[in-house]
Chain A
Amino acid sequence: MAVIEAPVERPTRRPARRRARIEVAIWCGALLLAVIASFIFGPTSKATTVMGSPLEPPSGEHLFGLDSYGMDVAARVASSARLDIGVALAVGVLVFVLAYPIALALGFWNTWWTKAILRMLDVFQSFPSIVLALTVVALTGNGVWNLVAASTFVFGPAFIRTVRSVVLSVRGQTFVEAALAAGVTPVRTLVRHVIPHTLGAAMAQTTIAVSRTIILVAGMAFIGVGVQPPTPEWGSMVQSGVAPMLNGAWWAALFPGLAIVLTVTAFDRIGTLLGSLTLEVDR
């Protein structure tokens, strides 16, 4: 008599997913720590008060030195985390809340209006993101919420396209067709069958939008749009710190630049790990 052995789960799959979850937790924890630290080490009063002569080098009293306004670079880098991460997360929430339903609709239905919306998205995506953002800010004015709106406008179309492609893929699955054939309404099918299988991808795309927002906001502040001094913001700090670097004052631009790199890396990594976890779930 043949012995049928039960399939043994490959030992590499579960530990890899565990490691990914742990890494996501670590990165999220690091970001949370950064925000907490910003309240402790970068209160607004300290970050926007002139502490001494401009461009004093790092010292025991001012670990990262003073910038060209005479303000503490460390306090401003820390304080800026609230703004930059806050704006980025706000954009993430808005993109998810506004663009995900659109992506679901565009992927689930194939009508003249879905095609029209897709063509409109093509037009928006043909513009470089910074040009589109500048246009929105020019129309709505400088300010934090205008930046949030501009970034949402810039990254929403890319989110919609990417998540829509996942929706299309799920829409073509047999279980979805079976549900519709059995008389389940399209909306109920979306909620019960499509969303669970696309949520992971949507979340991954959201974190990508978040990390790109940080770069966009920093880039716009670098050219003087958006957040205005003395409000601390990493991009504007790099901008005001670049010219003094020519004369040896390296600290004013280096530390905010590093903050941008580390934060973007964190969100990128979270997005990549979420994406891989999603693929594992959908197998």
Chain B
Amino acid sequence: MRIWRKLTAAALAAAVFTLAACSGSGDSDGDSRSGQPQSTLRVALQEVTSNLDPAMYNVPANYILIAGAVGYLVSHPYQDFPYPELYQGDAQVINADVYEPELATDWQLSDDGLTLTMKLREGVKSPYGNTLTADDVVWTAQRNVALKTVGEFGMTVANIDKNNPVTKIDDYTVQWNLTARSPLLMKVMAWSWFAPIDSVEAKKHATADDPWAQEWLKENTAFFGPYHVTSFTPGQSATLSLNPNYWGEKPSITEIVFTSVPDPGNRQQLVQRGEVDLVPDLPRAQLTALQNNPNVQVVLQPQTRYSYLQYRAGVEPLDNKLVRQAISYAIPYDRIIKDVYRDTTLAARTPSIWLPNAFPELSPYTYDLEKAKQLLAEAGYANGFTVNLTYSMANPGPENEQVAILIADSLRQIGVTVNLQKPSSEAAFTTSMNASEFEMIIAGISPGAPDAGYALYVMGHSKGFQNFGKFSDAEYDAVSSQLISELDEAKRTQLIEEATRMYLDLMPATPIVNPLIGHVATPGLKNIKLGTWGVPYWKYATLEK
């Protein structure tokens, strides 16, 4: 008798389950708040970062929290997306060739191009009440070099002298020192790693063993921007509050509360019910299903972040370029665009994607299994081989698992057995990636300097910051090194073309797709403007009922 009761209960539960699901997306109960413009923005993320240190800003979990809040030296204005043939929606992107003053009000490059004199805005204060001076810029630059941050890499590509990157001229004037002229200098000045840290406050927490206050900056922020972190539980939640001393126009949103909600179903329900205002990282299947939901808005915007499949040098047979080319021909690009991203992505033909002076037409790679098998046979692997593929659910996004499965399924058809490996957390994935502990890896990059030459350098040069596969080719290094020093525009375009051809032949990493950024938000959230890294700049956002 008891067994029948259990089975009946199970059947009833299943029926309730099914009915709940068949009701579809359902109607929201409506926003729980009503009335006037809101000053608190609630954001649900798959994962809140566990480390606020600017030295760690190289993964989405970090900079989605902070990059939109720091005080930049310079910024870029916005323009309509300049490639309507690629994307016909209504979207604005940064104009990476134009610079606007922020904490730096004026800058002059010397005639020989080897020094950049920069004037700082006076009267700027951090949340701790300390005034921005040249000392903060100098300390931040030295910190970047000492800790080998992405900022230090920025100095490399901008040819900034790492032995003496910046000199204090007076309290409000600094001089950047270059070893050679660079077309990327001002682009890196717009990076968050060059955003000055309040060194007066940071030094209070420095010790002999920790001269750069890493322990303190792990859980605290000290910038001169519009927001700072007032509450932080690593990996779980964080709150950005308005800097009471902010120099600029007071943002409409004065508080941003981030909560980690790992399950995408829960995140969807939260934004549908109005319990959060923004979910920036829903899987595409859910995001596209919400496009006709009247209780939310789905905002799609072009961005420079794209996903790629990277190969570890020194791992047989991935160190054979024919094998890498074969794999590149075996990736089901169209299927990924259609089935995984539901046509909310652009193709990524080269590392330069659609950046100015890119050459996407040079890429020969389409989904061609016969060609892939032919190349494998030519490489001596007609019978295939076994390889590990590492991926995460956040870098670059929650679609990675589906992409990884599709790639593994496709590679199986050419005899390549792929073992999928998903580290237990984003932090573990980042550690593996940074330590080059993988055979193949799916990751994402948003070229920090939105420049085709920079993108080719960072992905393929032996010292490229995103070259976690430790790929190295002397000829490619020679060509791509010129990309960060050649100033003549025509010559540079020729070099970009040459480097693109070389890259597509050597294929250190295969670009996969360039997804549109998709945010699901309550209808009242407006002005979601994205910065260089595809993250929202919170100071522009407004929230109304």
Interface residues of A, Cβ cutoff 8 Å to B = 48-50, 53-55, 68-71, 138, 142, 224-225, 228-230, 242-250, 253-254, 257-258, 261-262, 265, 268-269, 272
Interface residues on chain B, number (Cβ under 8 Å)? 39
Contact partner, B25, options A248, A254, A272, Cβ 8 Å: A248
User: Is B21 an interface residue when CB atoms closer than 8 A count as contact?
Assistant: yes
Contact partner, A228, options B3, B268, B420, Cβ 8 Å: B420
Is there contact, CB below 8 Å, between A225 and B265?
A: no
**In the bound complex, how far is the Cα of B425 from the Cα of A142, in angstroms?**
12
Q: 8 closest Cβ contacts across the A-B interface?
A: A250-B21, A243-B265, A245-B21, A247-B289, A261-B10, A248-B24, A50-B409, A243-B264
**In the bound complex, how far is the Cα of B409 from the Cα of A71, in angstroms?**
10
Which residues of the partner chain A approach B285 to less than 8 Å between Cβ atoms? 54-55, 68, 243-244, 247
**In the bound complex, how far is the Cα of B121 from the Cα of A7, in angstroms?**
107
Residues A229 and B420 in contact in the complex (CB < 8 Å), given A68-B402, A245-B21, A250-B22: yes
Which residue of chain B lies nearest to A248 when distances are taken between CB atoms in the complex? B24
Is there contact, CB below 8 Å, between B422 and A228?
A: yes
Is there contact, CB below 8 Å, between B402 and A54?
A: yes
**In the bound complex, how far is the Cα of B286 from the Cα of A254, in angstroms?**
18
Which residues of the partner chain B approach A246 to less than 8 Å between Cβ atoms? 21, 25-26, 265, 268-269, 286
Residues A53 and B339 in contact in the complex (CB < 8 Å), given A246-B25, A247-B286, A258-B10: yes
Further contacts, 18 of them, CB under 8 A, given A242-B265, A250-B22: A50-B405, A54-B285, A54-B402, A142-B424, A224-B424, A225-B424, A229-B405, A229-B420, A243-B265, A243-B286, A244-B285, A245-B265, A246-B269, A246-B286, A247-B290, A248-B25, A249-B21, A257-B14
**In the bound complex, how far is the Cα of B404 from the Cα of A50, in angstroms?**
12
Residues of chain B from 9 to 33 with CB closer than 8 A to chain A in the complex: 10, 13-14, 17-18, 20-22, 24-26
User: Is B6 an interface residue when CB atoms closer than 8 A count as contact?
Assistant: yes
Which residues of the partner chain B approach A53 to less than 8 Å between Cβ atoms? 338-339
Which residues of the partner chain A approach B6 to less than 8 Å between Cβ atoms? 265, 268
Residues A69 and B405 in contact in the complex (CB < 8 Å), given A247-B286, A250-B17, A254-B18: yes
Is there contact, CB below 8 Å, between B3 and A265?
A: yes
Is there contact, CB below 8 Å, between B24 and A247?
A: yes
**In the bound complex, how far is the Cα of B421 from the Cα of A225, in angstroms?**
12
Which residues of the partner chain A approach B25 to less than 8 Å between Cβ atoms? 246-248
Residues A138 and B424 in contact in the complex (CB < 8 Å), given A243-B265, A246-B269: yes
User: Is B490 an interface residue when CB atoms closer than 8 A count as contact?
Assistant: no
A-B contact pairs, 15 of them (CB 8 A): A50-B409, A53-B339, A69-B401, A224-B424, A228-B420, A230-B409, A245-B265, A246-B25, A247-B286, A250-B21, A254-B14, A254-B17, A254-B18, A261-B10, A261-B13
Is there contact, CB below 8 Å, between B422 and A257?
A: no
**In the bound complex, how far is the Cα of B418 from the Cα of A50, in angstroms?**
14
Is there contact, CB below 8 Å, between B265 and A265?
A: no
Which residues of the partner chain A approach B405 to less than 8 Å between Cβ atoms? 50, 69, 71, 229-230
Which residue of chain B lies nearest to A245 when distances are taken between CB atoms in the complex? B21
User: Is B80 an interface residue when CB atoms closer than 8 A count as contact?
Assistant: no
Interface residues of B, Cβ cutoff 8 Å to A = 2-3, 6-7, 10, 13-14, 17-18, 20-22, 24-26, 263-265, 268-269, 283, 285-286, 289-290, 338-340, 401-402, 405-406, 408-409, 412, 420-422, 424
Is there contact, CB below 8 Å, between A250 and B286?
A: no
Which residues of the partner chain A approach B401 to less than 8 Å between Cβ atoms? 69, 229
Which residues of the partner chain B approach A268 to less than 8 Å between Cβ atoms? 6
Contact partner, B421, options A68, A224, A228, Cβ 8 Å: A228
Which residues of the partner chain B approach A254 to less than 8 Å between Cβ atoms? 14, 17-18, 21
Which residues of the partner chain B approach A225 to less than 8 Å between Cβ atoms? 424
A102 to chain B, nearest CB (A): 31
**In the bound complex, how far is the Cα of B338 from the Cα of A68, in angstroms?**
13
Which residue of chain B lies nearest to A258 when distances are taken between CB atoms in the complex? B14
A143 to chain B, nearest CB (A): 11
Which residue of chain B lies nearest to A55 when distances are taken between CB atoms in the complex? B285
Which residues of the partner chain B approach A68 to less than 8 Å between Cβ atoms? 285, 402
B421 to chain A, nearest CB (A): 7
Is there contact, CB below 8 Å, between B18 and A250?
A: yes
Which residues of the partner chain A approach B14 to less than 8 Å between Cβ atoms? 254, 257-258, 261
Which residues of the partner chain B approach A48 to less than 8 Å between Cβ atoms? 409
A68 to chain B, nearest CB (A): 6
Which residues of the partner chain B approach A138 to less than 8 Å between Cβ atoms? 424
B111 to chain A, nearest CB (A): 58
Residues A242 and B263 in contact in the complex (CB < 8 Å), given A50-B406, A265-B7, A265-B10: yes
Which residues of the partner chain B approach A247 to less than 8 Å between Cβ atoms? 24-25, 285-286, 289-290
Which residue of chain A lies nearest to B290 when distances are taken between CB atoms in the complex? A247
Which residue of chain A lies nearest to B401 when distances are taken between CB atoms in the complex? A229
Is there contact, CB below 8 Å, between A70 and B263?
A: no
Which residues of the partner chain A approach B408 to less than 8 Å between Cβ atoms? 230
- Most chain-A Cβ atoms within 10 A of its Cβ — which of B26, B269, B285? B285
Contact partner, B20, options A224, A245, A261, Cβ 8 Å: A245
Is there contact, CB below 8 Å, between B409 and A49?
A: yes
Which residues of the partner chain B approach A257 to less than 8 Å between Cβ atoms? 14, 17
Which residues of the partner chain A approach B338 to less than 8 Å between Cβ atoms? 53
Contact partner, B22, options A142, A244, A248, A253, Cβ 8 Å: A248
Residues A269 and B10 in contact in the complex (CB < 8 Å), given A242-B265, A248-B21: no
B166 to chain A, nearest CB (A): 44
**In the bound complex, how far is the Cα of B25 from the Cα of A49, in angstroms?**
29
Residues A69 and B286 in contact in the complex (CB < 8 Å), given A49-B409, A50-B409: no
Which residues of the partner chain A approach B2 to less than 8 Å between Cβ atoms? 272
**In the bound complex, how far is the Cα of B24 from the Cα of A49, in angstroms?**
28
**In the bound complex, how far is the Cα of B269 from the Cα of A246, in angstroms?**
8
Is there contact, CB below 8 Å, between B263 and A243?
A: yes
B529 to chain A, nearest CB (A): 28
A269 to chain B, nearest CB (A): 5
Which residues of the partner chain B approach A70 to less than 8 Å between Cβ atoms? 339, 406
Which residues of the partner chain A approach B26 to less than 8 Å between Cβ atoms? 246
Which residues of the partner chain A approach B424 to less than 8 Å between Cβ atoms? 138, 142, 224-225
Which residues of the partner chain A approach B290 to less than 8 Å between Cβ atoms? 247
